[in-house]
Amino acid sequence: MSETTARVIILYGNDEYAFSKRLKSFQEAMSDSTAADMNISRLDGRSMTDEELNNAVNSLPFLGDKRLVLLANPSDHYQNKENQKIFTRLLEKAPETSRIVIHGNMENPGKEKKNKEEPWILKWAGETRGLVSVERHMMPRAWEMTGWILAETKKQGGTIEPRGAAMLAEMVGENTSQAAQEITKLLTYVNYERSITVTDVEQVSLDTAQGNIFVLVDALGSSQGKKAQAMLHRLLDEQDPKMIFGMIVRQFRFLLLAREVIDGGGNINDIQSALNKFGMPVFTAKNVYFQAKQFSQEALEAIYHRLLAIDEGAKTSDVPLDMALDMLVVELTK
């Protein structure tokens, strides 16, 4: 991304990984000064005072030519229009030696997250000329994740085969932060000497967690509630809930495919052939075959639709993902 010369930069969207990388780039740009840390202020709207913000914005640089103010969650501090005007006036009068980067919660105070009204701070940004730059960082859609992983792997100094990227995308869903961590882990595994393969993804990223997903789904299929809950909690203790959810969705998608083959008169070889298109090894495909026989087509379709509803609820913050998964286990094994 080309560097902006705007005095105020607003990072807007839902991609926390992109935010963290961008914030890091602003801080690294200050590293030439021996007093860089003295010229960086980090404030959070949930705890700061107006005096702290005023001092951070208007103080002169110390042994340098620039100051950097990183301000998170401004809407949590400025709850009404009058205070918002005071805040924007402060930004408009900020000295040229200060750069203010605003990120985090931008929502209109007191409004539901589903509300489509443009956040107040973005409205103000649109009224400025040259003072403010808005950078929109949105998480890629599910169908864009394979391309994102290919690009991110290249940024990290390596390459990944398209099939390996597709498998990793199914595993992490739209979680860019988790995907980036897995890419780093995989590149370290191949020592940055060759492309990451499907086998690498299976062995490094999928092996242990996927095995536990099999145990969880087996327990669901046999209505072993305590065992299913114990495994779910173990998985949630070890991995990000979004990653676990993505792997559960992936597993039930494969079970649906396998059940369709079984109901159509197919055998284990037919299932292995169908799942091989997704890079699944023979042994894993056999497990899917036997596991699919625990469920009816109707049951699998109902579970899959329930998972889609959980996904939608998590995106609108109706119910935290880990709690929704816990409720699903209880629902399926009661």
CATH label of the domain that carries residue 277: 1.20.272.10
Domain termination residue (choose one: 137, 170, 205): 137
Are 301 and 224 in the same domain?
A: yes
User: Residues with Cβ < 8 Å from 64, sequence gap 6 or more?
Assistant: 30, 33, 35, 36, 39
- Tell me, yes or no, whether 320 lies in a domain: yes
Q: Which domain holds residue 30?
A: 8-137
Count of domains for the chain: 2
pLDDT tens for the chain, 334 residues long, are 445 678 899 998 888 888 888 988 888 887 665 667 788 889 888 888 889 999 988 988 887 788 899 998 888 778 888 888 988 899 988 898 889 999 987 776 655 555 567 888 888 888 887 788 888 888 888 788 899 999 999 999 999 999 889 888 877 777 788 889 889 999 999 999 999 998 888 777 765 555 577 777 878 777 788 888 888 888 888 777 887 888 788 888 888 888 998 888 888 888 888 877 666 666 667 778 888 888 888 988 988 888 888 887 777 766 788 888 888 888 888 7
User: Where does a domain end: 137, 169, 189?
Assistant: 137
Q: How far apart are CA 116 and CA 293, in angstroms?
A: 45
Q: What are the contacts of 53-62 at 24+ separation with CB within 8 A?
A: 53/87, 53/90, 54/90, 57/90, 57/91, 57/94, 57/95, 57/98, 57/100, 58/94, 58/95, 58/98, 60/95, 60/97, 61/97, 62/35, 62/38
The CATH number covering residue 52 comes to: 3.40.50.300
Residues 6+ apart with CB under 8 A from 85: none
Q: Are 105 and 205 in a shared domain?
A: no
97, 116, 137 - which closes a domain = 137
In which residue are the tokens 């000295």 written? 95
Residue-wise pLDDT tens digits, 155-210: 999 999 998 898 888 777 777 888 898 899 999 999 999 999 988 887 777 655 55
Contact of 146 with 165, CB cutoff 8 Å: yes
